[in-house]
Structure 1
Amino acid sequence: MTHPDPSVFRWPVRVYYEDTDAGGVVYHARYLNFCERARTEWLRARGWEQDALRDQQKVVFVVARASLEYRRPARFNDALTVTCEVERLRSAAIDFTQRVEHSADSSVLCEVSVRVVCVDTQTFRPKPIPEPILESFA
């Protein structure tokens, strides 16, 4: 039996009717929503709420780039798992690899590469990730 890699964060997602298109499969843009939820929960699991980052640290994380590769469709009521793994940590940005997997057999339905950038809440210009936040990522 193989055990999941503990460095890879996993978040469960259920496909709702509102996530599907007229063909009954998950609408392509919904995969971005699923990945956003997983990154939010990844951050929360490290002790950071996005509203607290905005109010106390005066930073927010914004998506600067996203690339998706679709492999198989997800359908209404499927149980999915969205993974979140840091590929590269920079002073003001984080590159993630994420996968949307079918929970029943762990088959990869969509692979996503995302770069988020830490920006100042006033200027929306890139800003180094504050040290306490960086420390929680280790």
Structure 2
Amino acid sequence: MTSHVEPVRVEFVDTDAGGRIHHTAALRWAERAEHSLLRAAGLSELTSFPRRRITVEFFAPLHFGDRAEVEIAATAIGRTSITYGWRVLRAGQECVVGETTCVRVGEDGRPSEVDRAMREALGHP
């Protein structure tokens, strides 16, 4: 399975009124890591996979200035979908864990098959 680690830093814009990350920050970081994973795997198709399902669990707070890493990998590839498992770690501590399922759509807006080259590039031959 092909994976990627994306470094992130909690910026002021990522925080809520309590000084912790706003929940949407983790989603942005995961999406950035997903696109970096695809680029690192040599894939150029980055925009034809709208989100179908996202689950997120928060285990430890992150604050302004914290440095963390997003680890991501394609954990399952279906006929028309890819599911990514991801987590945000600060100094090895699991702070956020999530899963994102995307569906490939064609130019007609309908689901289309994930091709063999993409499966192989993501470690799912």
Larger-Rg structure: 1
Structure 2 letter corresponding to 1:29: T
SS at match of 1:61: coil
Residue equivalent to 2:74: 86
**d(CA) in 1 for partners of 2:2 and 2:49?**
21
Matching of residue 101 in structure 1 with residue 89 in structure 2? yes
Structure 2 CA distance for aligned equivalents of residues 86 and 132 of structure 1? 14
TM-score, normalised with respect to structure 1: 0.82
- Stretches (4+) displaced over 3 A: none
Q: State whether structure 2 residue 22 is matched by structure 1 residue 44.
A: no
Distance 2:14 2:33 in 1: 16
**Alpha-carbon separation, structure 2, partners of 1:18 and 1:126:** 35
Q: Say whether the 8 Å CA contact 2:3–2:37 is kept in structure 1.
A: no
1:124 maps onto 2:109 in alignment: yes
Equivalences for residues 1-138 of structure 1 within 5 A: 7-50=2-45, 60-102=48-90, 105-120=91-106, 122-138=107-123
| Identical amino acids, percent of aligned pairs | 28
Structure number with higher relative contact order (C-alpha < 8 Å, ≥ 6 residues apart): 2
Counterpart-to-counterpart distance in 1, 2:66 and 2:109:
37
Take 1:8 and 1:101, find their aligned partners in 2: how far apart are those partners? 15
What amino acid sits opposite 2:12 in the alignment? Answer: Y
Distance 1:116 1:109 in 2: 23
Q: TM-score, normalised by structure 2?
A: 0.90
Q: Which runs of 5+ in 2 are unaligned?
A: none
